[in-house]
Chain A
Amino acid sequence: MTNHWIDFQNSDVILAMGSNPAENHPISFKWITKAIEKGGILINVDPRFTRTSSKAHIYARLRSGTDIPFLGGMIKYILDNDLIYKDYVVNYTNASLLINKDFKFNDGLFSGYNPETRKYDKATWAYQYDEAGIPIKDPTLQNPNCVYQLLKKHYSRYDLDLVTRVTGTPKEDLLKVYKAYASTGVPGKSATILYAMGFTQHTVGTQNIRAMSMIQLLLGNIGIAGGGVNALRGEANVQGSTDFGLLFHILPGYLKQPVASAPTLADYNKKFTPATKDPKSLNWWSNTPKYIVSLLKAFYGDNATKENDFGYSWMPKLDDGQNASWLMIFDEMSKGKFSGFFAWGQNPACSGANSNKTRRALTTLDWMVNVNLFDNETGSFWKGPGMDPAKIKTEVFMLPCASSVEKEGSLANSGRWVQWRYKAVNPPGEALPDGDIISELCLKVKKLYETEGGKFPEPITKLWWNYFDEKGHFSVREIAKEINGKWMLDGKAADGTEFKKGKQVLNFTKLMDDGSTCCGSWVYSGSVSDTEFLTMRRDNVDKSGIGLFSNWSWSWPINRRIIYNRASVDPNGVPTNPNRVVIKWDAENKKWLNDVADNAAPPLTDEKGGKLPFIMNAEGYGRLFGGGSLNDGPFPEHYEPLECPVEKNLFSSQRINPTIKMFSEVGESSEGKDVYMTCNPKYPFICATYRVSEHWQTGVMTRWNKQLIELQPQNICELSPELAALKGIKSGDKVVIKSPRGQIDTIAIVTSRLKPFIIDGKTVHQVGTTWHFGWLTPSDGGDSSNLLTPTVGDANTMIPESKAFMVNIERKG
């Protein structure tokens, strides 16, 4: 999130789209309620009328998988009616920058597409530069090759008629939403987008978010109080997990994962350190060499030296272009390519798309370690439905671990606050905190490599594993200190500051690329000083006037509460909204006041040191034109979900996203097989999976809790009265939902909260079900709805398309 849940109270307009905050993030609704009570407007866009919709001023329904038409229509509305925040757009976004003349878009494809590899050559998706190497601008926005004009052209096709035909949203509802949201494109007004898995779990998931980010840029809503692009995090510390490189393509601090074509540190730095010649651009990622070296020093300590490239050669490397995502892991596992597997705090047998395939993949393993609070469908897969334990070779080890209240450590919440938590009670029985388990495991494996050797022991034997307190116990506080960063020797920094070995680094501005510092994640640098864990701060006094609470815990980066906040002031450093000041320039003392500014550099107009606000982009501008950062295009374009109810994409002849990875297997459908059905009368209805307030994720932590099972005892199928009449189904009936890959038993909830869509003149029904259940417990709860979902992912992130796929439903018995 660019902002924080607390900051929703500063919004004039809140759009909950691709999210259901009332049900899935009830605490966020505290701040939404405050905004409403200050006169704010809540808009909710969702295929289904939810508990969030019940509180919305404007509710609009759309067919699952058509967010880009909906939002593309909004972009067109904003441009046609000239509702952009012009100064912001011209000064802070790339609207005025000229794009390569060979860039083209034609019938659903951008220039450079290769149908064989299903990939783009992105050479033409680039700026034009002058002789000095600075992007060429046309601040009048008239040049036909400038981003603004290309944007206008691209979305000219997204007219109300076509958008309505594709989304099924009535025109008057589209207009209501567009009008209310676009009213914030003026100084002093703010709007925020709250999204979650309803945006992401699509084959165009990343582009859904891009489309909304572009709207925020056009309206000048990024960097300000009450604005931003806000992903409501659905798991405690899921923000922390990405901060620390849980995903395959990144290292801690969002550094790029080393690849085979960069065998040395110099190659890595060359490949992944962006450059700019524009003196107005800070280009923060130019610091990459300092961050990667400091990270390597944190991994390998004194074993990492300048001579050995700081141990870079010990880092695992992806093949170039390698997709090592979740879906690929289980695809490879199903082919027998893994011998062992750690399922750590996860339940892939229920959470993975096409779970029959996932469950079958687990049978190919020699061993599996299941680390969890409770038994789950993954640890016990060998005795699940359709499994014959006598024929399964996998040896399963169950390691009980401590819950969040049974251990201490930090947790990064949805709005990037890193809060220290203390242990309340001891874990039961032999359960241990995850860190203790990892530490014990690491020391044992290290010892084995040291005594027995191996093909490539250095990555393990050279590890600097010094996370123990004075009593020799594993200590997460020691880890937190290293994450902040330390000086590795005595010396003097370039700016003259003296430092002592073992002392904490002030923050990431002090990190070095010569091995004098270590840092476990540069974005967390500044969180632990020599005297204080800033994450332990609990000062609930707000001095900011807008609810920043800057002395409560600590927020990455560098305690900045609203990121890109340089865009909340005009080029002279004057806040564009005097009533909700995020930062302001104190010209006399030459410093920024209130929030920690997105860099201390003076305002943009300062001739010597003025800097552009979007410091993480090499060019310094917010990107309306995405350049080559995404795989599927610089502008979001509508493609139908892989499985959809329409024969044709009304926007182009590309029915589905041309860059998604295809897993298709040929032949008849069977359980767990990668088969897909579009416009097949056997699977005529759209289905989406979602959560309810009363359960969490696959239910491992809630289904064993009898109070929560009392509240939501069984999986459900929500459907409209119209579809219920068609299928002879009544509320409370048992209903089987079938997809080409599996089927589940549910209980019908017939409700007017769902309604058939009219898509291009035809009636299309949509149903919904939760993904909280599994066969293990309760016995009559029903199995996982991921038995239905397809193995297919977003073109950039590979998150599965769980929000739009095709099913049939039948009354059972």
Chain B
Amino acid sequence: MSFAKLIDTSRCIGCRGCQAACKNWNRLPYEKTKNRGTLQNPPDMSASTYTIIRYKESGEGNNLLWTFLKDQCRHCVDAPCKIMADGYDATAVEKTESGAVLYTDKTAKIEDLEFSCPYNVPRRAKAGDPYVKCTLCFDRITNNLKPACVTTCPTGALEFGTREDMLKLANDRVAEIKSRYPDAHVMQDAKDVSVFYVLHYKDALFSMEADLSKHDKSRYASRRDLLNPKRIASGLSGLSKLLG
């Protein structure tokens, strides 16, 4: 069964219950933080923070907007990080049937894994450590529980279910909120990921780091194929097809 998580920003109140629940369930250590002139903390995701709510203010006066965006691993359908990791060790990163992309300790030997990620998610405490990130609460979802963040969310901004159901729900939600939020949409990468968004404003009004071009497999083809001899043949045949 392939699962997915839907993040509906129109319902998110930025309370960060999800952020705390994630740390609790995963027993992640706290970080010593400073207030940096914003209510948002820790400043970024890290080896001990798998998810954060990113706040963004824009506009002025009656057009003032304050948005909240839960940032985390998107558990890509065909994960660029796995493609890259496979070049080192095909068992370092696992894409499970549940939809979760899981990092093993073998990711320790990979260099610069984060550069493969369209969302700048993979983190490690220091060079030589394994990479870590959200596991989609793999241990919970394979035991009939929803991810910790979803269970905690008070407003229904986080939903979890089969990928099919969540995609349908996302489209239904957009239809429901369109009259209030004319720019509401399902974020365009939904087809490529297992954690997708209903955004109630245009993308630019959210604090988000996303380079969706990294979903373009051909970007990785050269690197993957260089490093993985088994795939060179198919790569070459693909190239020859392209060249016609």
Binding between chains A and B: yes
Contact A706 B35 (CB under 8 A): no
Contacts of B156 in A (CB 8 A): 30, 33
Residues of B contacting A27 with CB < 8 Å?
154
B64 cross-chain contacts in A, Cβ below 8 A: 49, 752-753
Stretch of B14-22, B77-85, B86-94, B124-132 lying at the A interface: B14-22
Contact B16 A37 (CB under 8 A): no
**A26 touching B154 by the CB < 8 A rule?**
yes
Is A22 among interface residues, defined by CB-CB distance under 8 A?
yes
Q: Helix, strand, loop or mixed for chain B's interface?
A: loop
**Which residue, of B20, B32, B57, B155, has the highest number of chain A Cβ atoms within 10 A?**
B155
Among B19, B20, B60, which residue has the most Cβ atoms of chain A within 10 A?
Answer: B20
Q: Could you tell me the distance between the alpha carbons of A707 and B176 in the complex, rounded to whole angstroms? A: 36
A51 engages B31 (CB within 8 Å): no
Q: Is A708 a contact partner of B20 (Cβ separation < 8 A)?
A: yes
Say whether B37 contacts A711, CB under 8 Å: no
Contact of A709 among B30, B67, B154, B155 (CB under 8 A): B30
Contact of B37 with A37 in the complex, beta carbons under 8 Å = no
B residues in contact (CB < 8 Å) with A? 11, 13-17, 19-20, 23-24, 30-39, 41-42, 57, 59-62, 64-68, 154-156, 176, 180
| New A-B pairs, 7, CB < 8 Å, besides A26-B17, A49-B66 | A692-B39, A694-B16, A710-B32, A713-B35, A716-B35, A731-B37, A731-B38
- A752 and B57 within 8 A (CB): yes
Do the beta carbons of B33 and A713 come within 8 Å of each other? yes
- A348–B24 Cα distance when bound, in Å, is 31
Known: A54-B66, A711-B19. A26 touches B37 (CB 8 A): no
Q: Is the CB of B33 within 8 A of A710?
A: yes
Contact of A749 (CB < 8 Å), options: B34, B39, B42: B39
**Bound-state Cα–Cα, A737 to B134, Å:** 40
Q: Say whether B35 contacts A712, CB under 8 Å.
A: yes
Question: What is the interface of chain A, defined by CB distance below 8 A to chain B?
Answer: 22-23, 26-27, 29-30, 33, 37, 49, 51-55, 57, 59, 173, 692-694, 706-714, 716, 730-733, 747-753, 755, 780
A515 CB to nearest chain B CB (Å):
48
A37-B176, A753-B57 are known contacts. Are A22 and B35 too (CB-CB below 8 A)?
Answer: no
24 pairs, CB–CB < 8 Å, chain A vs chain B: A22-B14, A23-B15, A26-B13, A26-B155, A30-B154, A33-B156, A37-B176, A54-B14, A54-B66, A54-B67, A55-B13, A707-B23, A710-B42, A711-B20, A712-B39, A713-B35, A713-B41, A731-B37, A732-B36, A733-B37, A747-B34, A749-B35, A749-B37, A753-B64
* B contact residues around A33 at 8 Å (CB): 11, 155-156
Chain A residues closer than 8 Å to B59, beta-carbon distance: 752
- Give Cα A52 to B13, complex, Å: 7
Q: Which residues of the other chain, B, contact A716 by a CB distance below 8 angstroms?
A: 35, 39
Q: How far is the CA of A33 from the CA of B37 in the complex (A)?
A: 29
Closest CB pairs A-B (n = 3)? A731-B37, A732-B37, A22-B13
* Choice from A57, A707, A714 contacting B35 with Cβ under 8 Å: A714
> In angstroms, how far is the closest chain A Cβ from the Cβ of B32?
8
Assess whether A693 is in contact with B16, with CB atoms less than 8 Å apart. Answer: yes
Give the docked Cα–Cα distance between A59 and B60 (Å).
13
Residues of chain A within 8 A (CB-CB) of B34 are 713-714, 747, 780
Q: What distance in Å separates the Cβ of A176 from its nearest Cβ neighbour in chain B?
A: 10
A22-B30 contact, Cβ under 8 Å, with A707-B20, A711-B41, A749-B38: no
Contact of A750 among B14, B37, B61, B180 (CB under 8 A): B37
Closest to A713 in B: B33
Q: Residue of A at shortest CB range from B14?
A: A51
Q: How far is the CB of A169 from chain B (nearest CB, A)?
A: 12
B147 to chain A, nearest CB (A): 18
Q: How far is the CA of A367 from the CA of B204 in the complex (A)?
A: 60
CA distance A750 to B36 in the complex (A): 11
Q: Which residues of B contact A23 (CB under 8 A)?
A: 13, 15
Residue of A with least CB distance to B13: A22
- Contact among B13, B60, B65, B154 with A51 in the assembled complex (CB-CB below 8 Å): B13
Choice from B37, B62, B67 contacting A748 with Cβ under 8 Å: B37
Knowing A51-B13, A752-B60, the reply to whether A747 touches B39 (Cβ < 8 A) is no
Query: Most A CB atoms within 10 A — which of B14, B19, B35, B57?
Result: B35
Minimal Cβ-Cβ distance residue in A for B59 = A752
Residues of A within 8 A of B62 (CB): 59, 173
Return A750 CB to nearest CB of chain B, in Å. Answer: 7
Residues of A within 8 A of B67 (CB): 54
Question: How near does chain B come to A670, taking the closest CB pair, in angstroms?
Answer: 29
CB < 8 Å: which of A51, A693, A708, A750 contacts B66? A51
* Minimal beta-carbon separation of B169 from chain A (angstroms): 13
Instruction: Closest B residue to A705 by CB, please name it.
Output: B30
| Chain B residue nearest in CB terms to A21 | B13
Quick one: given A707-B24, A753-B57, are A30 and B155 in contact (CB under 8 Å)? yes
Shortest Cβ distance from A49 into B: residue: B64
Hey, which chain A residues are within 8 Å of B15, CB to CB?
22-23, 26, 29, 51, 693
In the assembled complex, the CB of B25 is this many whole angstroms from the nearest CB of chain A, namely: 12
Q: State in angstroms the CA–CA spacing of A751 and B39 once bound together.
A: 11
Task: Please name all residues of chain B whose beta carbon is closer than 8 Å to the beta carbon of A752 when the two chains form the complex.
Answer: 57, 59-60, 64
**Nearest CB of chain A from residue B92's CB, rounded to whole Å:** 30
Contact of B30 among A29, A52, A707, A749 (CB under 8 A): A707
In the bound assembly, the distance between CA atoms of A710 and B29 in angstroms comes to: 10
A749 to B57 alpha-carbon distance, docked (Å): 12
Closest-by-CB residue of A relative to B60 is A752
Q: Contact between B14 and A711 (Cβ–Cβ < 8 Å)?
A: no
For B67, the closest partner residue in chain A by CB is A54
Residue in chain A with minimal CB distance to B31: A710
Q: Is the CB of A755 within 8 A of B61?
A: yes
Report how far A710 CA is from B59 CA in the complex, Å: 29
Which of the residues A29, A53, A713 comes within 8 Å of B154, measured between beta carbons? A29
What's the nearest-Cβ distance from chain B to residue A256, in Å?
39
Give min CB distance, B155 to chain A, whole Å. 5
Give chain B residues whose Cβ lies under 8 Å from the Cβ of A755. 61
A694 to B17, CA, bound (A): 9
Q: How far is the CB of B166 from chain A (nearest CB, A)?
A: 18
How far does the alpha carbon of A22 sit from the alpha carbon of B156 in the complex, in Å? Answer: 13
Chain B nearest CB from A726 CB (Å) reads 17
> Which A residues touch B37, using CB under 8 A?
730-733, 747-750
Minimum distance in angstroms from B167 CB to a CB of chain A: 20
